[in-house]
Amino acid sequence: MSIDRIINMIVRQITRRAVNGGINAGVNAVSGKGRKQAQNGGGQGRPKHGQNGAKQAKQAMRMMRRMNKF
């Protein structure tokens, strides 16, 4: 195996991990998992204001538009 193939293999693995990490982070952000769930005590309970759901929907739409650019 030449050094060229080894370098390409390593670069592909690093790129794959970075892309998968970014996709997972984006999906978690859109679905509401992560920091918000830990702060709200496991995500149980309802939002206190109706505007909160609209704000989350707008944020989700923004994230999807950003993801669609690539």
Residue 47 and residue 36: Cα distance in Å, rounded?
Answer: 12
Domain that holds residue 8: 3-33+47-68
Here the tokens at position 61 are 């739409």
Residue 39 resides in a domain = no
- What is residue 8's predicted lDDT score, i.e. its pLDDT? 94
* Cα 27 to the center of its chain, rounded Å: 4
Instruction: Inform me whether the pLDDT recorded for 13 exceeds 90.
Output: yes
Do 43 and 32 contact (CB within 8 A), yes or no?
Answer: yes
Count up the domains in the chain and report the number. Answer: 1
Determine, yes or no, domain membership for 42: no
| Domain-located, residue 59 | yes
Quote the pTM value: 0.44
Nearest to 65 by CA among 26, 21, 25, 24: 26
Q: What is the pLDDT of residues 40-58, one digit of tens each?
A: 555 555 555 566 778 888 8
Assess if residue 58 is contained within a domain. yes
